[in-house]
Structure 1
């Protein structure tokens, strides 16, 4: 038989639980979103509310105001990027989670950027857009117009698109413009491969040892749109020029795949660079063959101005 003190303790515990439940219920029923939901569903009974209290509490505690949200990274919702929504599920009130506007935009951006592949390209370049170029800067703006025209030609199956050869001094935005091209093409569901040429050539040399040269070369050769960034900045060897670069350009010429370039050199200066290798000396004929493939399938764009990398 329980003592009086034990019985009183049990009563006290039940009273405490009842008070907690009443507090939860009061919190739920006073929430403005619940009031709106209840008005839209007048057939909801007290019994349904009682059975649904745990889910309703999850809803009111997880509901946040998304109006002032900047992006998914700053989301305050319990599940980032998802807004809770109440619905009737049989005899209870349940919750479903829907993607918010920021989450939808973020997912779409990730989907687009999955169409942009890169080797050794800084991440900020992969999010570049044409809108980020100042229209008041005449030279850069003219370059963006040519870039936009290239995007349109690539997306038109009736046009054999010529690539772009964007050359100019350091830090003027050549690579950034290529990133904008890649993003514009991604919106048209066209994949682009951006390659920082000096690092890629170095990797190809080290790949001789593990016999992965052909495998890596195939990925670059077959890209629907290829960007060779900063060509001419590498230390040239006859093997890189003839077996790597020559192989890439020959395949893409045969398959009519557009290739774009950025360089600090114009056509003539790049030809001079390609002609010289430390071991073989000057090989003008081989350099000229490479340059003929570049010149014939690209439109030169001279991009100059202030160095944007200087603070």
Structure 2
């Protein structure tokens, strides 16, 4: 950034520094931003502005740059995403004019988004879907038929923000493409803004990948611990996986057994709860095991509120 000394040298007869400084002082004091600041702080005398002319100059220059912002990646200010602010402080020996660097709204928005991305993790779910921009109006108006489900999701988010983690999660059930995953991603995104961590797991691919984790016990242990400990856990498209007894009893069972009465778990599915129990009760290896399906459902059914998601198939729109 151009220094005040360089600016002064560009004035006609710029080697006469005092005269140039006087002219620059007059110009800066006439700037609307400076006039507004002076009107808020009439207690500051002229001398304080003169000896801090460099601060005043950078204040005006960087505020102008922000008014015509070329984007965060092309920020012309000294420190990317920051601008100079002036303040009047009592130093004990009198009033002083000081400056400080303040983050701009674009930098704050980027930092918030990065925080959200760190808070929310996905396993086999499209990152673009998880971290895309969300609009409450867009969600509300996308399909009148799913308004009840949208309202229930919004209500859940509001309750969690006001009261903390809820004892129950949500079980979103509906036909293909009605936006169940989308609503859960929106929920994770919104609650990440207030500090809650979240994980969303696409069940068909997760169960398939579990087989390879048998040879990587450390990775399996880490994955299970993440799902146990995260504030909000979403099992996406549950019931569509090709389940085996080990995945059902030792992975899913362990995760859900740990989370019940601790942290809420959420589900999206094309199956209602009774159909899901039948799904859990049968595996290709051991056939029909109704008691084991019921055991897993005892860790799901009491800990969710079922929400029907109606509407048209919107696959490809999100």
Deviations 1:244-273 (A, max 9, x none): 1111122223x4432110012222433343
Ranges in structure 1 where 5+ consecutive residues have no aligned partner:
1-14
Ranges in structure 2 where 5+ consecutive residues have no aligned partner:
1-11
Find the counterpart in structure 2 of residue 99 from structure 1.
103
Find the counterpart in structure 2 of residue 64 from structure 1.
64
1:286 and 2:292 aligned: yes
| 15, 26, 47: which one aligns with 1:44 | 47
1:135-284 alignment, distance < 5 Å: 137-151=143-157, 154=160, 161-186=167-192, 189-212=195-218, 213-253=220-260, 255-284=261-290
Instruction: State the Cα distance separating 1:176 from its structure 2 match.
Output: 1.6
1:64-143 alignment, distance < 5 Å: 64=64, 66=66, 77-86=77-86, 95-108=99-112, 110-111=114-115, 114-121=118-125, 122-126=127-131, 128=134, 130-134=136-140, 137-143=143-149
Deviations 1:56-82 (A, max 9, x none): 554444333656869857866553432
Larger Rg: 1
Instruction: State the Cα distance separating 1:173 from its structure 2 match.
Output: 1.1
Find the counterpart in structure 1 of residue 303 from structure 2.
297
Instruction: Give the conservation status (yes or no) of the 8 Å contact 2:112–2:193.
Output: no
Aligned partners of 2:285 and 2:247: how far apart in 1?
A: 12
Deviations 1:219-266 (A, max 9, x none): 21233332111212323222111111111122223x443211001222
Instruction: Give the conservation status (yes or no) of the 8 Å contact 1:225–1:257.
Output: yes
Deviations 1:181-215 (A, max 9, x none): 22443455443332232343344333322322223
Aligned partners of 2:121 and 2:163: how far apart in 1?
A: 22
Instruction: State the Cα distance separating 1:37 from its structure 2 match.
Output: 5.3
Aligned partners of 2:147 and 2:264: how far apart in 1?
A: 22
With over 3 angstroms needed to count, the CA separation of the structure-2 counterparts of 1:38 and 1:283, relative to structure 1, is: same
Instruction: Give the conservation status (yes or no) of the 8 Å contact 1:117–1:194.
Output: yes
Task: Report the TM-score when normalising by structure 1.
Answer: 0.72
Task: Report the TM-score when normalising by structure 2.
Answer: 0.71
For the residue of structure 2 that corresponds to 1:306, the secondary structure is coil
Instruction: Provide the aligned length of Structure 1 versus Structure 2.
Output: 293
Instruction: State the Cα distance separating 1:131 from its structure 2 match.
Output: 4.5
1:18 and 2:18 aligned: no
Instruction: Give the conservation status (yes or no) of the 8 Å contact 1:64–1:76.
Output: no
Aligned partners of 1:186 and 1:24: how far apart in 2?
A: 51
Instruction: State the Cα distance separating 1:174 from its structure 2 match.
Output: 0.6
Instruction: Give the conservation status (yes or no) of the 8 Å contact 1:164–1:260.
Output: yes
With over 3 angstroms needed to count, the CA separation of the structure-2 counterparts of 1:263 and 1:24, relative to structure 1, is: farther
**Backbone CA RMSD of aligned residues:** 4.1
Aligned partners of 1:239 and 1:260: how far apart in 2?
A: 22
Find the counterpart in structure 1 of residue 7 from structure 2.
none
Aligned partners of 2:49 and 2:15: how far apart in 1?
A: 16
Aligned partners of 1:224 and 1:76: how far apart in 2?
A: 40
Aligned partners of 1:109 and 1:291: how far apart in 2?
A: 36
